[in-house]
Amino acid sequence: MPTVIINDESVESQIGERLLDTARRDAAHIGFVCDGNGLCQMCECVVLKGGDHLSPPNQIERIWLTEDQLEYGTRLACQVSVRGPGPVEVLTRAERLRREAIDVISPPPGTNVGENLGRLVNDLLRINVDHVERWPFNMLYALSNTLAVQFSLNNLWQIFGDTIRITTKLLRSDRVSVSDVSRTPPELQSLPKSES
């Protein structure tokens, strides 16, 4: 079975399975507000390793993601499926932001609140700038498809259940700093060091 490492945790996947479904089954920290319909981008993740074991970017990903993002390994987990044995390693945007926020509240040794806050703000700004860069195609796509998405009662129950499982798992998890260089996209590691 293909191995996928999501936010540092190894999970067994299946050939043809979407990364989002693998993540949800394992209660990995990932967003899925639109339930995997390619509308919310909350499932965005960065492929750190094994990208050639995944399906190539599809049309929906090309609507939402810039060329730079795709080149960098950014994918929408609800649009990408496992195609090879792996291992594939990904860091979800939800988890990256969580780690950045924790580093602000409780800075790891050698860092300070200011620089960690700068990184978090920079990341949030970058996410919004990237979205604007894809205007108006992404918004037109979202508007034309939102009404077509129908959540069955079953889906709502599943969304609720998965959210509870993910939250419970997060509350039990050990702290991981985004400053762990092996787990952090390079552009977020390059903050200027504090003068002090």
Residues near ligand FES (CB under 6 A): 20, 32-34, 36, 38-43, 76, 78
Least CB distance from residue 30 to ligand FES, whole Å? Answer: 8
Q: Would you say 36 or 86 has its CB closer to ligand FES?
A: 36
Q: Would you say 31 or 119 has its CB closer to ligand FES?
A: 31
Q: Which letter, b or e, does each residue of 144-164 get, where b requires 16 or more Cβ atoms within 10 Å of its Cβ?
A: eeeeeeeeeeeeeeebeebee
- Cβ-Cβ contacts under 8 Å for 49 (sequence gap 6 or more): 5, 87, 88, 89
Q: Would you say 42 or 117 has its CB closer to ligand FES?
A: 42
Radius of gyration of the chain (CA): 17
Angle between helices 93-105 and 113-133 (to 10 degrees): 150
Q: Would you say 43 or 188 has its CB closer to ligand FES?
A: 43
Please give the Cα distance from 35 to 55 (Å, whole number). Answer: 20
Least CB distance from residue 55 to ligand FES, whole Å? Answer: 14
Residue with the shortest CB distance to ligand FES = 78
Least CB distance from residue 195 to ligand FES, whole Å? Answer: 41
Assess contact for 47 and 185: CB atoms under 8 A: no
Least CB distance from residue 115 to ligand FES, whole Å? Answer: 31
